[in-house]
Amino acid sequence: MKKIVLLLVLLTTFSTCKKEEVKTIHKIEEKPKPVIKYGYNLDKFKVIQDTIKKGESFGIILDRHHVFYPKINKITSSVKEIFDVRRVRAGRPYTILASKDSTETAQVFIYNHDRINATILDFKDSLITAQRFKEPIKTVERIIEGKIYSNLSNTMDSLHLNPNLTWAVADIYAWTLDFYKLQKGDSFKLVFEEKYIKDSLFAGYGDIKSAVFKHKGKDLYAFRFIPDTIKGIPEYYDEEGNMLRSQFLKAPIKFRYRVSSRYNLRRRIAYYGNRVRPHRGTDFAANIGTPIIATASGTVTESARRGGNGNYVKIKHNSTYSTQYLHMKRRKVKRGQYVKQGEVIGWVGMTGNTGGPHVCYRFWKHGKQVDPFKQKLPSAKPLKKSIKPRYLEFIKTLKYQLDHKQLPVTAPEVIETIAQN
């Protein structure tokens, strides 16, 4: 009997040990995955994130994080080919990776140019390096449509779109559409790209691939196309292959302006006894501080403040045409400087003889002031005949997307085949 009891005790003990052993085997803990960003294991550093304050310099920031000036000077000279530390700007975020010991000395400085691009300065070892970093981004296409009730800007705002996209649209149509003359009921559609970091963080807009404005019952198409694949410079063309860009913009202000006074050689002013005082310019009224742009590329021949003109700039575009911009609050360009079409040359003000904020836009042809809106101005060159067939094939899908507001889209000829079947 004693032997049987002993045997039972031994079996129970063995069984318990086996169970405990099994429990121990399944109790393996997984190690947490390291946090990797910018190519560094952040778990190995003290991570400090901040924003550059007004008056702060690269040296001041590093000094505060226990990197002293002999080494700061060495870092500055070592990375100058890639990164000029004098160009760090207030308001830009940065990250410092510091040592985890009691000194907490900065070892890596990461400057964020924007949400996508950064520069990494690594000085934890004797070898100092600088490299560019770009967040992996996902690009998606969107198609939107809107109807004008007051102006383009308000409509875009109602669609919760960033003002940068509004400016991009204004640039595309600056030569063919007067945004001041948009009418209630005009409409538009856009196919454009949005960029995202990690699928959810909005990082800005990509290209506007195509657009159409319905204005006064007419469809004004714009398709982005690269005619020369070697140069790789994109342009916008209509559905027939005509370039939208002209030699002259329609206005020296992109939008949010009104024409308060036109070119009029028979203008009478009550203040001067109702006598004829010709107005040889076109006045574009806008808020003080609104950017004024060059309507065409050329060389600045005058940039001064004088008499009734106030602050003004005059640009010679070629042997035939010149333009002048009066009453500026402030000028941005100097005499002799070459400016490109669309470049900001100053800001709307009230200097000189003026009753309100505006820019008086004057236009010369062969040395004589004329009304720019009554001139047949030269346009940009159309597509070459050899390229046009490729372009017309290229825009088939883009035009179908706009006309049917459909993304993604099957090629038109395939859709027609399916419909016939």
Judgement on whether residues 76 and 111 belong to the same structural domain of the protein: yes
Percent of the chain with pLDDT over 70: 86
The angle subtended at Cα 87 by Cα 82 and Cα 91, nearest 5°, is 125
What span, in angstroms and rounded, lies between the C-alpha atoms of 145 and 213?
10
Does the pLDDT value for residue 48 go beyond 80?
A: yes
- The predicted structure's pLDDT at residue 324: 94
Judgement on whether residues 120 and 100 belong to the same structural domain of the protein: yes
Residues 226-231 have a mean pLDDT of: 83
Which of 297 and 239 is assigned the larger pLDDT? 239
Which of 320 and 138 is assigned the larger pLDDT? 138
How does DSSP classify residue 349? B
- In a domain, residue 12? The reply is no
Backbone angles phi, psi at 21, to 5 degrees: -65, -40
Backbone angles phi, psi at 162, to 5 degrees: -65, 140
Judgement on whether residues 369 and 399 belong to the same structural domain of the protein: no
- The predicted structure's pLDDT at residue 412: 46
Does the pLDDT value for residue 338 go beyond 70?
A: yes
Six-digit token string for 36: 């990797």
Q: Which residue, chain included where needed, has tokens 């004098």?
A: 86
Judgement on whether residues 82 and 176 belong to the same structural domain of the protein: no
Judgement on whether residues 129 and 147 belong to the same structural domain of the protein: no
- The predicted structure's pLDDT at residue 67: 94
Helix and strand counts by DSSP (H, E) for the chain: 7, 24
Spatial contact of 279 and 261, defined as CB atoms under 8 Å apart: yes
What span, in angstroms and rounded, lies between the C-alpha atoms of 68 and 76?
12
- In a domain, residue 150? The reply is yes
Lowest mean pLDDT among 100-109, 150-159, 392-401: 150-159
- In a domain, residue 192? The reply is yes
Burial code (b: 16+ CB inside 10 Å, e: under 16) for 68-81 equals eeeebeebbebbee
Does the pLDDT value for residue 254 go beyond 90?
A: no
Percent of the chain with pLDDT over 90: 49
- In a domain, residue 9? The reply is no
Last residue in a domain, options 91, 106, 134: 134
Most confidently predicted of 76-85, 169-178, 277-286? 76-85
Does the pLDDT value for residue 4 go beyond 90?
A: no
- In a domain, residue 202? The reply is yes
What span, in angstroms and rounded, lies between the C-alpha atoms of 206 and 10?
76
In sequence order, what DSSP letters do the residues of 168-199 get, joined into one string?
HHHHHTTTT--GGG--TT-EEEEEEEEEEETT
Last residue in a domain, options 134, 162, 189: 134
Which of 119 and 22 is assigned the larger pLDDT? 119
Judgement on whether residues 285 and 316 belong to the same structural domain of the protein: yes
How does DSSP classify residue 113? S
Q: How many domains is the chain built from?
A: 3
Last residue in a domain, options 350, 374, 398: 374
Spatial contact of 105 and 68, defined as CB atoms under 8 Å apart: no
The set of residues, in sequence order, having a beta carbon less than 8 Å from that of 244 and lying 6+ positions away, is: 172, 173, 175, 176, 222, 235, 236, 237, 238
- The predicted structure's pLDDT at residue 416: 41
Q: Alpha carbon of 326 to those of 84, 317, 334: distances in Å?
A: 37, 17, 15
Judgement on whether residues 329 and 405 belong to the same structural domain of the protein: no
Residues 294-316 have a mean pLDDT of: 92
Q: Alpha carbon of 211 to those of 15, 87, 142, 226, 245: distances in Å?
A: 77, 37, 12, 16, 15
Q: Which helix (H) or strand (E) holds 11?
A: helix 2-25
At 91-118, the pLDDT tens digits run: 999 999 999 999 999 999 999 998 889 9
Lowest mean pLDDT among 15-19, 148-152, 255-259, 369-373: 15-19
* Position 415 confidence tier, pLDDT thresholds 50, 70, 90: very low
**SS3 assignment, position 310:** strand
Give the mean pLDDT of the chain: 84
Which of 178 and 54 is assigned the larger pLDDT? 54
* Position 250 confidence tier, pLDDT thresholds 50, 70, 90: confident
What span, in angstroms and rounded, lies between the C-alpha atoms of 253 and 288?
12
Q: Which of 177, 182, 173 is nearest to 222 (CA)?
A: 173
Largest CA distance in the chain: 138
- In a domain, residue 153? The reply is yes
Region of 76 (left: φ > 0; alpha: ψ -120 to 50; beta: rest) is: alpha
Spatial contact of 348 and 310, defined as CB atoms under 8 Å apart: no
**Range of the structural domain that residue 82 is part of:** 36-134
Does the pLDDT value for residue 87 go beyond 70?
A: yes
* Position 15 confidence tier, pLDDT thresholds 50, 70, 90: low
Judgement on whether residues 40 and 111 belong to the same structural domain of the protein: yes
* Position 405 confidence tier, pLDDT thresholds 50, 70, 90: confident
Residue 111: which CATH number?
3.10.450.350
Does the pLDDT value for residue 25 go beyond 90?
A: no
* Position 421 confidence tier, pLDDT thresholds 50, 70, 90: very low
Six-digit token string for 51: 């924003």
Judgement on whether residues 263 and 352 belong to the same structural domain of the protein: yes
At 380-391, the pLDDT tens digits run: 777 888 999 999
- In a domain, residue 29? The reply is no
Six-digit token string for 179: 């945004």
Judgement on whether residues 143 and 69 belong to the same structural domain of the protein: no
Helix axes 388-404, 412-420, angle to 10 degrees: 60
Judgement on whether residues 214 and 227 belong to the same structural domain of the protein: yes
* Position 232 confidence tier, pLDDT thresholds 50, 70, 90: confident
Sign for the pseudo-dihedral over CA of 277, 282, 288, 294:
negative
Residues 398-413 have a mean pLDDT of: 75
Which of 230 and 414 is assigned the larger pLDDT? 230
Beta bridge partners of 195: 139
- The predicted structure's pLDDT at residue 183: 84
* Position 74 confidence tier, pLDDT thresholds 50, 70, 90: very high
Burial code (b: 16+ CB inside 10 Å, e: under 16) for 192-230 equals bebbbeeeeeebbbeebbbbbbbbeeebbbbbbbebeee
- The predicted structure's pLDDT at residue 417: 35
Judgement on whether residues 325 and 239 belong to the same structural domain of the protein: no
Q: Which of 220, 208, 209 is nearest to 182 (CA)?
A: 220
- In a domain, residue 19? The reply is no
